[in-house]
Amino acid sequence: MHLHASPLPPWCELDPAYAPQEFRIQWASDPWMDREALALRRRVFCEEQALFAHDDRDAIDRDASTRSLVALTCLAGEADEVIGTVRIHQAAPGVWWGSRLAVQAGWRQHRRLGSSLIRLAVSSAHALGCEEFLAHVQAQNVPLFERLHWQQLDTCELHGRPHALMRASLAHYPPCTTPYAGFVLAQG
């Protein structure tokens, strides 16, 4: 006698066309967020852009002042998936840098994710005494940073690609003293 097993129901009953309606931009607050942020960086900088052979991690990731920021999809108000990241660190007293800004390919059309990561990066550093916030920005992203009140200081080549050394205008980035709460964005 053969018993035919009925197919298992899907573990999630969400419509396959479901799209998150809310996003949270915050400092990574759980080990899974850090792991997913590093995995996203590897996909973007190693696999997609081929800037690094195997891994993009460097001495900055080991610096005690380095913080990972994440853009998260939310499901029923809870963090669900890391879809964007950037890291910040203090290089000298009052001097902070942002680097490794990455957004998952399928979410790049949601323009506010990258700009909100930038906003929290600068605003949270500002709350920690930042007097100057700098970044090496890939050439194709310079217009975005200029719209966000950054000034180009110089140009250079990093990892075989043209970059601009840019500085944020801190006057446009009020201090954010709650970076683990961060910002909430609605879909759209």
Give me the mean pLDDT over the 100-114 stretch: 90
| Per-residue confidence (pLDDT) for residue 102, from 0 to 100 | 97
The number of angstroms, rounded, from the C-alpha of 26 to the middle of its chain's C-alpha atoms is 9
Domains of the chain, first to last: 22-186 (3.40.630.30)
The pTM score is 0.87
How many CB atoms lie under 10 A from the CB of residue 162?
13
- The whole-angstrom separation of Cα 30 and Cα 9 is 30
In this structure, of 13-22, 86-95, 178-187, the range with the lowest mean pLDDT score is 13-22
